Amino acid sequence: MGNGKWSGSVGGILGAPIDKVWTMVSQTKKLPEWMQMVEQCTDLVGEEGMPGYVRLVSGFMFPQQDGERSWIKERLVSIDSSSHSYVYRMETSNIGLDGSLNSLKLVDYGDDSTLVNWSFEINPIEGACKDSIIDYVGFLYKSSINRIEVLLKQHSNKVEKCDLCGHLTYVMNSTCNSNLISRREF
């Protein structure tokens, strides 16, 4: 990314297989789960997962002076499920980032872990501090990456019959041993 725009990227390694991470980050309806500052994500035009798809994202991503929610209309520019990547462009918003590009790419990092790389390219904003804007967007995206791992760990918890005692128990992360079992009978 370049051409006079402000750009940055953040990343993180998640302790989850790439397919589970992709399932979460590629579905619009799941965006409010892993991007906590997003309250709602609504389909507007097109079919999700197809270039040209438009969604409306709203919440408190960028504080507004009037206390109103931020909103961004985003268009899916490209998506490649086989390489676990997509690009959205912010088309219109009340936050001043119109025309910004956001690219998310997942890489299989081995041992059921995934590297998440989230890069962004922003048109310069007159009167704004470049470093402050880049740092804030990076912070939002990094906190979202961290949230993905928390959610995937919560989703991996399940109930199984314990081999040690025969009772149905709550087993964390599909690992059954006496240190990880909550001894609740069902």
pLDDT in tens, 26-77: 998 999 999 989 999 999 999 999 999 999 999 988 877 787 889 999 999 9
- Which domains, from first to last, does the chain contain? 6-156 (3.30.530.20)
Helix (H) or strand (E) holding 90: strand 85-93
105 Cα distance to chain centroid: 11
Determine contact, residues 169/157, Cβ cutoff 8 Å: no
- What contacts 133, CB < 8 A, 6 or more positions away? 6, 122, 125
Share of the chain above pLDDT 90, in %: 67
User: In this structure, what is the dihedral angle of CA atoms 164, 170, 173, 177, given to the nearest 10 degrees?
Assistant: -20
Place of tokens 């740092």: 135
d(CA 66, CA 50): 35
Q: What is the pTM of this model?
A: 0.79
Which tokens belong to 33?
């789960």
